[in-house]
Amino acid sequence: MFLEKDLSGRPRKGWIEVVCGSMFSGKTEELIRRLKRAKIANQRVEIFKPVIDVRYSVDEVVSHNENAIRSTPVDTASNILLLTGDVDVVGIDEAQFFEPALVEVCNKLANMGIRVIVAGLDMDFQGKPFGPMPQLMAVAEFVTKTHAICMRCGSLANFSHRLSLDEKLVVLGEKSEYEPLCRECYNENKK
């Protein structure tokens, strides 16, 4: 496969970066920051998110701090490959909502010489690995784990505690439905 050349004349190399953590830990904020820096560097950037994420906007990735960047909503991971044009960087938000094929899609993009930045929850509300995130972390060159602040004790939080009794795996929500908790407070709450 032909790879473009970087500024030094060497073939361009791709890689995968994963930004993961609990809700309210700054994952999307970090994704947006990295993508905006890539745009400042005149890199060609495409951003995708799952079509089900319409909490703030249909066609933007938006952080809880209301920072936003234009994105393309897709219903399957394979559509990311179909919609990726001539780019240097691909950003993917809310990766936990995609099917396992997202791992193969990210690998293909990186093998094409594209920098892939993926953000998502590493665990669901039950404290279990969420969707394709564990596999993405395994194949990524770089993994950044972000932490929120525990709403009960002020320690570092890495669990997303659901406040409602809804048992469905996917319940889109904000601070009225979820709160970040540390391990001790999360386990205490489960009793």
Model confidence band, residue 174 (pLDDT cutoffs 50, 70, 90): low
The predicted pLDDT at position 63 comes to 64
The DSSP 8-state label assigned to residue 143 in this structure reads E
pLDDT tens figures, 40-93 = 999 999 999 998 875 666 666 666 666 777 888 999 999 999 999 899 999 999
Query: CB-side exposure of 35: number of CA atoms within 13 Å?
Result: 30
Q: Cα separations (Å) of 67 from 28, 95, 125, 138?
A: 9, 18, 25, 29
4 is a catalytic site residue: no
Domain 15-147 has CATH 3.40.309.10: no
Cβ–Cβ < 8 Å for 119, 21: no
pLDDT tens figures, 137-163 = 999 999 999 999 999 999 999 999 999
Calpha distance 149→179 (Å, rounded): 9
> Who wins on pLDDT, 20 or 13?
20
Tokens 């972000």 sit at which residue? 146
pLDDT tens figures, 79-137 = 999 999 899 999 999 999 999 999 999 999 999 999 999 999 999 999 999 999 999 99
Mapped onto helix, strand or coil, the DSSP state of residue 19 is strand
What proportions of the chain, in percent to the nearest 5, are helix, strand and coil? 25, 30, 45
The predicted pLDDT at position 44 comes to 96
Query: CB-side exposure of 53: number of CA atoms within 13 Å?
Result: 23
- Residue 90 is encoded by which pair of tokens? 């691909």
The DSSP 8-state label assigned to residue 128 in this structure reads S
Kindly name the residue from 17, 46, 94, 179 that is annotated as catalytic.
Answer: 94
The predicted pLDDT at position 145 comes to 97
Range with top average pLDDT, 4-8, 10-14, 44-48, 58-62: 44-48
Average pLDDT over residues 13-40: 95
